[in-house]
């Protein structure tokens, strides 16, 4: 009985259909081939070939069934009523590819046939599987109306499975007809394996996702979340393990998830309809046919083992392939050396490691310079400021734009504060402990990182130790340690690491190294802002020189983590010239001192005193000025000899000289550019940026010179193999001729130790050093008021050399958080060749008026002017002499008494702090504050809420409606708002609500770059290759 | 590059060398860290209060809160008060209300604000409080001038004093503890509460003794004889600090050489101690300069003198002053000389000029240090003798307006300053009618040999010589220096 069979092919391409027809004509001459691409089921049903056929045979353009395949299939399908579809064994070059497939309960494809199984009848008994692959599936035509056409959105791996699922959902069976065999192409065969893990291509992830979504019924939402979280987790996992390609695929799948949900919606609807028809609510009918996860894992293991091995495994026989040999011919010593370093180098005692001595010197240096850090209380002084703050204040400062110093300012936090905050996390939020630990550990950390960084350029350990010693002996570093310039200290620790990771990025092309360099450059920019220009310049040069787009990672962390500050820098470029931390008026060093690395002139009066104490008679300070060249003389001579040394590698020499000269020019320019103002000085830019480059360049030069003085270098040089005898001879003569140079290197080491000693003594005698103290900036009474609800301020008057110094102290003044590079830069304006202090703003004029009124006798009632400033207390520093008398005469002050910080007066006014309610007659009262909400009682019309804060961008609103400002055009420094007569609760916000969100988004992206920068995990070479194969298939 | 190595080596040696040579040695560029001047703040207006000490106390009246005054008919004590029109913040011009009252007692007269007012040369017999009431935006440009003139007897001579304003600490470089000199420190309390004063004397040998503490009741004047505190000291300076209020202080000095009167003088505190002091108006015989050093270290002081035609030589060009002490130097006879005193430490200076009278009598006058001329200052003129206004060397010009009897101001006159010498102006040249006070405007003037331009009026009669300094600029006119941290 001849059944009418129609071959259905979905190719959309006439050429392949014709090819199939041609291929099938010899065996199946009368069977029409129909292309159903693009037609609906109804249209298909109306086609004459379909309408008149009994069975449909689904083929792909590359399928070549065996002559008796169709008969076997027809026999199999005719056996029982319940069989709705049958399919042949799919063969490819003699090996079974697919003979019935299944999935796990989660929906991953499981093909029980491993790759390369020769057909020996082992699959003939297992004929009942969950589904069959679509090529070769024979089905009764009547089913077409019941279940529709195979889905095209699922790939070849899942379309057959899904189609078979439909049949099974209707209660029918899908069977393998083991005696039917069909040949398919290798490309199709490659797609019909089990679901591989890790995934081999993007399409695989997407089709799997679609299959699972198409089967989801009730649990669509939970499946959606599961898939989304799964992809997210794999993205992060991929970044962590440096597999960027699969991470990208999962990211693409995650983004495409909603699209996939909508694409598979028709399938789900149909699925739901069938379930309703069959009155079924679960998948129990197919549960037995699911594969176990263990079975899938076994299949995956066999799959991955084979794909790695592009050639069949062979026993190494010493044949022509040299790589297969166990013992390669070559540098035996190197091989043995790399195999077991411990046995060859002999004597791995710690005393023979130069790092030990450098760390020892660093420990001694740290002890001598920073011994004053031990003590109760908190740190204060120098360029550091008081560390008496809590972690919550740091977070508040980072997430908001309001800086509570003096009359208030709206500036973003410096990246310096972010670095401090992150470092404090390591110490559970104790800023003080963190700063102390950092200052004490800094020389040791800097020595270790310098040793590691020098390893990327120099090979010999003693030279690396020499470089590390020079690095920590640098006068800029010792000055920063004693003054508490945390920025310079961070740069000193991170700069050698940045050199290391940058070299790794340039040589190995690793994205992780580029991201790591970017993070380190962010810390460096946080420490010394002017190095941002160097970063930008370097990135631009690297990109223009075509070293790879990954070098954008050099800038990315700075942009993510510091975008508010960068935006402020764009508007106020002078910010780059300032240094984070307190403003200290250091004298500018003359250029000859800058050339040898000193940031400020040192006064050697201590040495004069020491010499005269020792009884050697009076030595004038002028003669002692000569110490600088004497100490530096060995270094200058070594540098000179290095420069004229002909055998130095040219690129390294250029780098060293370029860094040194560039840094010197930069430092010289910085020293002549005023950057910020202090009460008594117009302060030049601290030359830290230039001197960092100078140190890098000069230490590189000196180390290269030291490297060359010690004879032949070990076998890492490129011409080691060729003329070993010649270079050995050269080396021997070099060693003998360079013995005086060894003495020079030793002298340089001694000079470096001398530099450390000078830095240590300077730390002991400097008045601006950081010390541990328990005294607060203001007396406790005033400090409580400042931190309390009303946030009242204190006006502090000091008598400095006969002049009155007035400081308005708010809660953050004098602390580590109370500085901003942007506000420091805003006080100086003008073109670089004529920078002058800008005139003070009206709020500062008010402060000066208050101070002059207090310091003059008979100046009238000061309560109003102090109330306008939000000042509750007046403090006169100790040793103020007549100033105390003048203040005591002033009206409107009530004496509180002497405190540890000086004499304290309270301002005699009925209101307190900076949140004031003024009514139309001029009566002032304090607004009751709770956090940032002010409760305003009902009162008369015409009241205004005055916030004595000079920060712009303060808004107040009642019930969400912003309050109007009484004089919108007028430039008053304080913020004023009209209050309704009914009063209410006023919400005061100091910055726009989008700002903290933006900052947190930046932090998340910064965390992402940290994950990218982690250097562990596969480099990703393997997946790249197989991925390409997948995409070709 | 072919010669890259040579280029690099050359750069490494040459660039630092050239840079260092150029910026450090050949033409050292101005470094970026410079001193800057303080912020200058103009304070809101406040009342001007000055206390005129009243008739001289003669020896024999010890300190006491109710001293009896000797009425010597040959000594007349007179007070001139003036209130000059000054521009207000709203653009109008008016003079402040002026009140003269007894210290702690009744009001003599109260003249409302108008277009200027000058009182007559009224005789007084007690301490007077001269108050100018400022209104918001309109400062009180007022002053009081006390003239003591003796034509016979022990108190022959002339003493004029611009009445001193009350403050909480001041220093008067005047007085002497030598025999023949009767120096009294007069402290007046114009406030409502009693105050504590601490009086310390600086002598050529350093600080004399522990400071004397005394209290002065509200509205009272106390006299402290300095001879008792520092007997034998040739030259003195008096340091007064006040606790709990303000005091106005002046030093009254009368010298007798046997039976011959050697002069009377009233001195008040001048400008505060500074590293540079300018005294002008040294025009007389036996000029002396006295420098007080309030710090505890030794001070080296250099002197430079500028006559009407330029710099002149003086017998002493430098002095050394002990810590917490004074030193005096004789400068011989000078004519219209300005003296610039410079030191590395803060010092305060005063000068003395003398005049010979009849029959061996003599008189002397003291010149206190002054602040440089502010935007507007008033100087009342004594109605006796001949006056000449001395201005220290400077650039630009000083505007002078004379105040006539009816209180109006004459047209402003520009006095060009002599950059190398003292400028002398006769007040009667300002107008044909008698000028009773001068309003000096120094905004267009700047000092050439020193900071700022200083002015002093030298008055000499037949028997006496004395000086008058302009009243300090009223609150709301002068700028105060404040450092903002």
All structural domains of chain B with their residue ranges: 39-482
A-chain residues within 8 Å CB-CB of B29?
Answer: 672
What pLDDT does residue A975 have? 84
Q: What share of chain A is helix, strand, coil (3-state, %, to 5)?
A: 50, 15, 35
Which positions 684-703 of A are in contact with B (Cβ < 8 Å)? 684-685, 701
Summarize the confidence of residues A894-903 as an average pLDDT: 88
**CB-CB under 8 Å, A585 with B8:** no
Minimum Cα–Cα distance from B275: chain A residue: A802
Contact of A582 with chain B, judged by CB distance below 8 Å, is answered with no
**CB-CB under 8 Å, A679 with B166:** no
- What's the half-sphere exposure (Cβ side, CA atoms, 13 Å) at A838? 16
Task: Residue B133: count other Cβ atoms within 10 Å of its Cβ.
Answer: 20
Question: Which band of pLDDT confidence, cut at 50, 70 and 90, is reported for residue A858?
Answer: low
B-chain residues within 8 Å CB-CB of A595?
Answer: 16, 19-20
Contact of B36 with chain A, judged by CB distance below 8 Å, is answered with yes
Total CB pairs under 8 A between chain A and B: 181
CA angle B141, B142, B143 (to 5 degrees): 135
A-chain residues within 8 Å CB-CB of B43?
Answer: 849, 852-853, 856, 859
**CB-CB under 8 Å, A845 with B169:** no
Q: Is the pLDDT of residue A973 over 90?
A: no
User: CA-CA distance, A30 to A981, in Å (whole number)?
Assistant: 96
Q: For residue B167, what are the β-bridge partners? A: B247
**CB-CB under 8 Å, B244 with A661:** no
Q: How far from the centroid of its chain's Cα atoms is residue A780's Cα? A: 40
Contact of A669 with chain B, judged by CB distance below 8 Å, is answered with no
Three-state secondary structure of chain B: CCCHHHHHHHHHHHHHHHHHHHHHHHCCCCCCCEECCCEEEECCCCCEEEEECCCCCCCCCCCCCCCCCCCCCCEEEEEEEEECCEECCCCCEEECEEEEEECCCCEEEEECCECCEECCCEECCCCEEEEEECECCECCCEEEEEEEEECCCCCCEEEEEECEECECEEEECCCCCCCCEEEEEEEECCCCCCEEEEEEEEECCEECCCCEEEEECCCCEEEEEHHHHCCCCCCCEEEEEEECCCEEEEEEEEEEECCEEEEEEEEECCCCCEEEEEEEEEEEEEEEEEEEECCCCCEEEEEEEEECCEEECCCCCEEEECCCEEEEEEEEEEEEEEEEEEEEEEEEEEEEEEEECHHHCEEEEEEECCCCCCCCEEEECCCCCEEEEEECCEEEEEEEEEECCCCCECCCEEEECCCCCCEEECHHHCCCCCCCEEEEECCCEEECCCCCCCEEEEEECCCCEEEECCCCCCCCCCEEEEEEC
Minimal CA separation from A565 to chain B, in Å: 24
Q: Which of A135-139, A303-307, A526-530, A728-732 has the lowest mean pLDDT?
A: A728-732
User: For residues A214 and A315, which has the higher predicted lDDT (pLDDT)?
Assistant: A214
A-chain residues within 8 Å CB-CB of B30?
Answer: 672
Q: In this structure, are residues B67 and A718 in contact, taking their beta carbons and an 8 Å threshold?
A: no
Q: In this structure, are residues B200 and B294 in contact, taking their beta carbons and an 8 Å threshold?
A: no
Q: Is the pLDDT of residue A449 over 90?
A: yes
Partner residue facing B39 (CB), from A644, A682, A840: A840
What pLDDT does residue A628 have? 64
Question: Which band of pLDDT confidence, cut at 50, 70 and 90, is reported for residue A422?
Answer: very high
Contact of B315 with chain A, judged by CB distance below 8 Å, is answered with no
Summarize the confidence of residues A334-351 as an average pLDDT: 59
Three-state secondary structure of A262-277: HHCHHHHHHHHHHHHH
| Mean pLDDT, chain A, integer | 82
- Enumerate domains of chain A plus CATH numbers: 5-195 (3.90.550.10), 198-279 (no CATH), 353-713+749-771 (no CATH), 778-812+839-907 (no CATH), 915-989 (no CATH)
Contact of B28 with chain A, judged by CB distance below 8 Å, is answered with yes
A-chain residues within 8 Å CB-CB of B242?
Answer: 885, 889
Which positions 255-284 of B are in contact with A (Cβ < 8 Å)? 272-274
Minimal CA separation from B242 to chain A, in Å: 7
Summarize the confidence of residues A485-510 as an average pLDDT: 92
**CB-CB under 8 Å, B49 with A889:** no
Contact of A862 with chain B, judged by CB distance below 8 Å, is answered with no
CA angle B43, B44, B49 (to 5 degrees): 95
**CB-CB under 8 Å, A837 with B15:** no
Whether ipTM > 0.90 holds is no
Question: Which band of pLDDT confidence, cut at 50, 70 and 90, is reported for residue A394?
Answer: very high
What pLDDT does residue A335 have? 61
A-chain residues within 8 Å CB-CB of B35?
Answer: 680-682
User: CA-CA distance, A723 to A733, in Å (whole number)?
Assistant: 16
User: CA-CA distance, A154 to A161, in Å (whole number)?
Assistant: 10
Q: pLDDT tens-digit profile of A745-755?
A: 888 999 999 88
Minimal CA separation from A915 to chain B, in Å: 24
Percent of chain A whose predicted confidence (pLDDT) is above 70:
88
pLDDT in tens, chain B (485 residues): 678 888 888 888 899 889 888 887 777 777 778 888 888 888 778 888 899 998 888 755 444 444 444 444 578 899 999 999 998 878 888 889 999 999 888 998 999 988 899 998 889 989 999 999 988 888 899 999 999 998 877 788 899 999 999 888 899 999 988 888 889 999 999 988 899 999 999 999 888 778 889 999 998 899 988 887 877 788 899 999 988 888 999 999 998 887 788 889 999 998 888 899 999 999 998 999 999 999 888 999 999 999 999 899 999 899 999 989 999 999 999 999 999 999 999 999 999 999 988 888 889 999 999 988 988 999 999 998 899 999 999 999 999 999 999 888 999 999 999 899 999 999 988 888 889 999 999 888 888 888 889 999 999 998 899 999 999 888 877 788 889 88
User: CA-CA distance, A557 to A912, in Å (whole number)?
Assistant: 44
Summarize the confidence of residues A635-640 as an average pLDDT: 88
């Amino acid at each position: 009985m001849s059944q009418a069979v129609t071959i259905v092919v979905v190719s959309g391409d006439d050429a392949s259909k014709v090819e199939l027809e041609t291929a099938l004509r010899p065996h199946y001459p009368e069977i029409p081939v129909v292309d159903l691409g693009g037609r609906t089921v109804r249209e298909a049903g109306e086609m004459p070939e379909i309408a008149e056929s009994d069975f449909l045979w689904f083929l792909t353009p590359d399928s070549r069934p065996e002559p008796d395949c169709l008969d076997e299939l027809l026999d199999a399908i005719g056996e029982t009523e319940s069989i709705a579809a049958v399919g042949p064994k799919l063969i490819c070059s003699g090996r079974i590819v697919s003979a019935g497939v299944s999935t796990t309960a989660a929906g991953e494809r499981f093909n029980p046939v491993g790759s390369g199984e020769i057909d020996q009848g082992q699959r003939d008994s297992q004929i009942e599987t969950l589904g069959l692959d679509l090529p070769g599936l024979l089905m009764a035509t009547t089913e077409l109306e019941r279940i529709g056409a195979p889905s095209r959105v699922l790939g070849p791996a899942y379309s057959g499975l899904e189609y078979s699922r439909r049949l099974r959902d209707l209660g029918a069976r899908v069977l393998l007809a083991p005696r039917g065999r069909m040949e398919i192409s290798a490309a199709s065969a490659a797609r019909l394996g089990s679901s591989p893990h890790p995934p081999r291509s993007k399409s695989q992830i997407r089709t799997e996702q679609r299959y699972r979504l198409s089967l989801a019924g009730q649990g669509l939402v939970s499946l959606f979340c599961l898939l989304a979280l799964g992809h997210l987790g794999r993205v992060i996992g991929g970044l962590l393990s440096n597999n960027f390609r699969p991470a990208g695929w999962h990211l693409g799948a995650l983004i495409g998830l909603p699209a996939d949900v909508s694409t598979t919606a028709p399938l789900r609807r149909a699925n739901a309809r069938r379930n309703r028809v069959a009155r079924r609510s679960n998948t129990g009918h197919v549960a037995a046919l699911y594969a176990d996860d263990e079975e899938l894992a076994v299949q995956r293991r066999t799959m991955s083992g084979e794909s790695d091995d592009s050639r069949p495994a062979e026993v190494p026989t010493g044949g022509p392939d040299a790589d297969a040999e166990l013992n390669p011919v070559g540098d035996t010593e190197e091989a043995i050396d790399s195999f077991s370093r411990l046995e060859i180098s002999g004597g791995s005692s710690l005393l023979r490691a130069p790092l030990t001595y450098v760390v020892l010197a660093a420990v001694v240096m740290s002890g001598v310079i920073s011994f004053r850090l031990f003590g109760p209380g908190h740190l204060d002084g120098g360029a550091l400021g008081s560390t008496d703050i809590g972690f919550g204040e740091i977070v508040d400062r980072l997430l908001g734009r309001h800086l509570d110093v003096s009359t208030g300012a709206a500036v973003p936090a410096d990246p310096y504060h972010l670095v401090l905050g992150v470092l404090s996390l390591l110490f559970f939020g104790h800023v003080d402990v963190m700063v102390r630990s950092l200052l004490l550990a800094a020389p040791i950390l800097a020595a270790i990182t310098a040793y590691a960084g020098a390893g990327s350029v120099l090979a010999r350990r003693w030279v690396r130790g020499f470089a590390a010693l020079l690095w920590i002996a640098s006068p800029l570093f010792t000055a920063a340690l004693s003054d508490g310039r945390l920025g310079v200290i961070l740069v000193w620790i991170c700069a050698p690491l940045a050199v290391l990771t940058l070299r790794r990025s340039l040589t190995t092309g690793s994205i992780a190294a580029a991201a790591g360099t970017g993070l380190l450059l962010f810390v460096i920019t946080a420490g010394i802002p002017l190095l941002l220009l160097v970063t930008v310049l370097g990135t631009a040069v690297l990109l223009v020189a075509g070293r790879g787009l990954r070098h954008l990672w050099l800038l990315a962390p700075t942009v993510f983590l510091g975008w508010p500050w960068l935006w402020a820098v764009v508007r106020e470029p002078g910010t780059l010239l300032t240094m984070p931390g307190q403003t200290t008026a250091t004298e500018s060093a003359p250029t000859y001192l800058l050339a040898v690395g000193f940031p400020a002139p040192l006064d050697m009066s201590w040495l004069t005193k020491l010499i005269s104490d020792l009884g050697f008679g009076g030595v004038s300070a002028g003669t002692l000025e000569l110490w600088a060249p004497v100490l530096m003389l060995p270094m200058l001579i070594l540098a000179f000899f290095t420069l004229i040394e002909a055998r130095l590698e040219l690129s390294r020499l250029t780098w060293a000289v370029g860094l040194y000269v560039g840094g010197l020019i930069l430092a010289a320019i910085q020293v002549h550019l005023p950057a910020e103002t202090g009460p008594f000085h117009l302060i030049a830019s601290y030359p830290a940026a230039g001197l960092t480059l100078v140190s890098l360049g000069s230490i590189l030069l000196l180390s290269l010179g030291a490297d060359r003085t010690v004879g032949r270098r070990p076998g890492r040089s490129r011409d080691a193999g060729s003329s070993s005898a010649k270079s050995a001879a050269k080396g021997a003569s070099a060693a003998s001729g360079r013995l005086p140079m060894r003495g020079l290197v030793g002298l340089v080491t001694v000079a470096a130790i001398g530099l450390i000693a000078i830095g240590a003594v300077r730390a002991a005698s400097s008045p601006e050093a950081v010390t541990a103290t328990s005294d607060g900036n203001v007396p406790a009474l005033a400090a409580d008021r400042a931190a309390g609800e009303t946030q009242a301020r204190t006006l502090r008057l000091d008598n400095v050399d006969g002049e009155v110094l007035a400081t308005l102290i708010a809660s953050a003044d004098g602390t580590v958080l109370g500085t901003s590079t942007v506000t420091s830069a805003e006080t100086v304006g003008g073109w670089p060749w004529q920078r002058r202090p800008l005139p003070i703003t009206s709020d500062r004029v008010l402060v000066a008026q208050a101070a002059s009124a207090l310091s003059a006798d008979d100046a009238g009632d000061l309560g109003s002017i102090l109330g306008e400033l939000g000042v509750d207390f007046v403090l006169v520093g100790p040793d103020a002499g007549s100033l105390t008398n003048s203040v005591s005469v002033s009206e409107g002050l009530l004496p509180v008494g002497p405190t540890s910080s000086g004499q304290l007066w309270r301002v005699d006014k009925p209101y307190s702090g900076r949140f004031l309610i003024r009514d139309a007659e001029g009566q002032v009262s304090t607004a009751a504050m709770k956090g940032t909400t002010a409760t305003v009682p009902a009162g008369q019309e015409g009241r205004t809420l005055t916030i004595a804060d000079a920060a712009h961008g303060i808004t107040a609103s009642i019930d969400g409606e912003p309050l109007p400002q009484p004089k919108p055009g007028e430039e008053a420094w304080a913020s004023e708002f009209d209050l309704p007569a009914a009063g209410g609760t006023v919400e005061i916000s100091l910055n726009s609500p989008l700002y903290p969100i933006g900052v947190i988004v930046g932090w998340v992206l910064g965390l992402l770059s940290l994950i990218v920068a982690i250097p562990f995990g596969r480099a990703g070479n393997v997946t790249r290759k197989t991925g390409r194969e997948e995409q070709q298939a | 590059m072919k010669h890259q190595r040579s280029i690099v080596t050359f750069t490494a040696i040459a660039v630092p060398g050239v840079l260092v040579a150029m910026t450090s040695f050949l033409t050292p560029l101005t470094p970026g860290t410079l001193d800057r001047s303080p912020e200058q703040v103009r304070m809101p207006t406040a009342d001007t209060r000055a206390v005129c000490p009243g008739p001289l106390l003669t020896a024999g009246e010890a300190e006491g809160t109710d001293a009896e005054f000797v009425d010597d008919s040959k000594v007349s004590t007179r007070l001139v008060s003036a209130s000059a029109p000054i521009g207000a913040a709203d653009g109008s011009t008016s003079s402040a209300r002026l009140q003269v009252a007894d210290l702690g007692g009744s009001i003599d007269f109260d003249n409302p604000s108008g277009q200027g007012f000058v009182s007559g040369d009224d005789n007084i017999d007690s301490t007077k409080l001269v108050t100018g009431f400022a209104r918001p935006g309109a400062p009180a440009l007022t002053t009081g001038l006390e003239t003591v003139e003796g034509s016979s007897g022990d108190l022959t001579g002339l003493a004029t004093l611009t009445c001193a304003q009350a403050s909480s600490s001041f220093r008067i470089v005047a007085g002497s503890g030598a025999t023949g000199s009767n120096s009294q420190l007069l402290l007046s309390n114009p406030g409502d509460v009693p105050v504590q004063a601490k009086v310390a004397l600086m002598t050529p040998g350093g600080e004399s003794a522990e400071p004397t503490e005394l209290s002065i009741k509200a509205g009272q004047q106390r006299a402290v004889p300095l001879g008792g505190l520092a007997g034998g000291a040739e030259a003195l300076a008096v340091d007064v600090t006040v606790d709990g209020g303000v005091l106005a202080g002046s030093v009254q000095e009368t010298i007798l050489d046997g039976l011959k009167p050697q002069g009377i003088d009233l001195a008040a505190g001048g400008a505060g101690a500074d590293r540079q002091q300018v005294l002008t108006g040294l025009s007389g015989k036996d000029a002396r300069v006295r420098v007080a050093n309030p710090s505890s270290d030794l001070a080296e002081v250099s002197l430079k003198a500028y006559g009407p035609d330029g710099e002149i030589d003086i017998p002493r060009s430098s002095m050394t002053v002990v810590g917490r002490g004074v030193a005096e130097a004789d400068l011989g006879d000078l004519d219209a000389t300005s003296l610039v005193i410079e030191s590395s430490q803060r010092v305060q200076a005063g000068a003395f000029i003398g005049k010979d009278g009849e029959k061996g009598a003599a008189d002397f006058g003291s010149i206190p240090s002054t602040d440089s001329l502010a935007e507007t200052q008033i100087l009342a003129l004594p109605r006796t003798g001949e006056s000449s206004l001395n201005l220290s060397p400077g650039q630009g010009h000083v505007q002078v307006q004379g105040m006539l009897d009816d209180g109006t101001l004459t047209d402003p006159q520009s006095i060009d300053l002599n950059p190398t010498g003292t400028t002398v102006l006769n007040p009667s040249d300002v107008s044909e009618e008698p000028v009773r006070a001068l309003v000096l405007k120094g905004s267009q003037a700047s000092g050439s040999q020193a900071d700022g331009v200083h002015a002093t009026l030298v008055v000499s009669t037949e028997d006496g010589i004395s000086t008058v300094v302009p009243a300090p600029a009223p609150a709301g006119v002068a700028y105060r220096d404040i450092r903002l941290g």
